[in-house]
């Protein structure tokens, strides 16, 4: 009897199961939908090479514009890293239509991302890494709703990341 009475409590104590993150399959509307300006809100990772940059970003805005090819976007970034303002307008985003991924190339550094299905005013990107995935949140405005923030945090937890792994811009 004790076992049966304790079963609901034991089941309730299990962590919630996570549905796999639904990535966006690129079509003709995907890329035009992400063109324009975005405000970087937060990023999360346990990948050591990214942690220093995540901690240093105090504010960032970026915009995507069409590149010279169908599989390329131009990126303009304006950010404050600690107390230094940085403007970059030389990086590119390569679009891989066959597997719906984006690759940001900035000099000799390349990183990939998959778009997570969400509100059109949000840009949630999963950054796959063999050692530790990352997640970033950007929005069309500098403020996001509590619901959007909760959605981002739910995705974080499903990737095995915690609130301590998140770095918010100011």
The verdict on residue 63 lying in a domain is yes
> pLDDT tens across 52-103, in order?
888 999 999 999 999 999 999 999 999 999 999 999 988 899 999 999 999 9
The verdict on residue 103 lying in a domain is no
The verdict on residue 10 lying in a domain is no
Share of the chain above pLDDT 70, in %: 88
Q: State the pLDDT at residue 84.
A: 94
Query: Can you give the length of the chain in residues?
Result: 170
The verdict on residue 1 lying in a domain is no
In terms of phi and psi (left: phi > 0; alpha: psi -120 to 50; beta: otherwise), the region of 50 is alpha
Categorize the per-residue pLDDT at 106 as very low, low, confident or very high, splitting at 50, 70 and 90.
confident
Q: How far apart are the C-alpha atoms of 41 and 38, rounded to whole Å?
A: 9
The verdict on residue 105 lying in a domain is no
Please provide the DSSP assignment of 107-166 as one string: TTEEEEEEEEP--TTEEEEEE--SS--EEEEEESSS---HHHHHHHHHHHHHTT--GGGE
């Amino acid at each position: 009897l004790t076992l049966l009475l304790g079963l609901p409590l034991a089941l309730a104590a299990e962590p919630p199961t996570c549905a796999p993150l639904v990535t966006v399959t690129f079509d003709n509307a995907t890329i035009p939908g992400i063109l324009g300006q975005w405000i970087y809100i937060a990023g999360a990772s346990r990948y050591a090479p990214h942690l220093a940059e995540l901690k240093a970003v105090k504010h960032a805005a970026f915009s995507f514009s069409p590149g010279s090819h169908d599989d390329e976007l131009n990126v303009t970034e304006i950010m404050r890293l600690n107390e230094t303002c940085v403007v970059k307008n030389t990086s590119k985003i390569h679009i891989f239509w066959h597997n719906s991924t984006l690759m940001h190339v900035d000099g000799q550094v390349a990183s990939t991302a998959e778009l997570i299905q969400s509100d059109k005013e949000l840009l949630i990107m999963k950054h796959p890494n063999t050692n530790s995935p990352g997640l970033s949140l950007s929005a069309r405005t500098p403020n996001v709703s509590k619901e959007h923030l909760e959605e981002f945090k739910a995705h974080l937890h499903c990737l095995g990341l915690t609130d301590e792994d998140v770095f918010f811009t100011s």
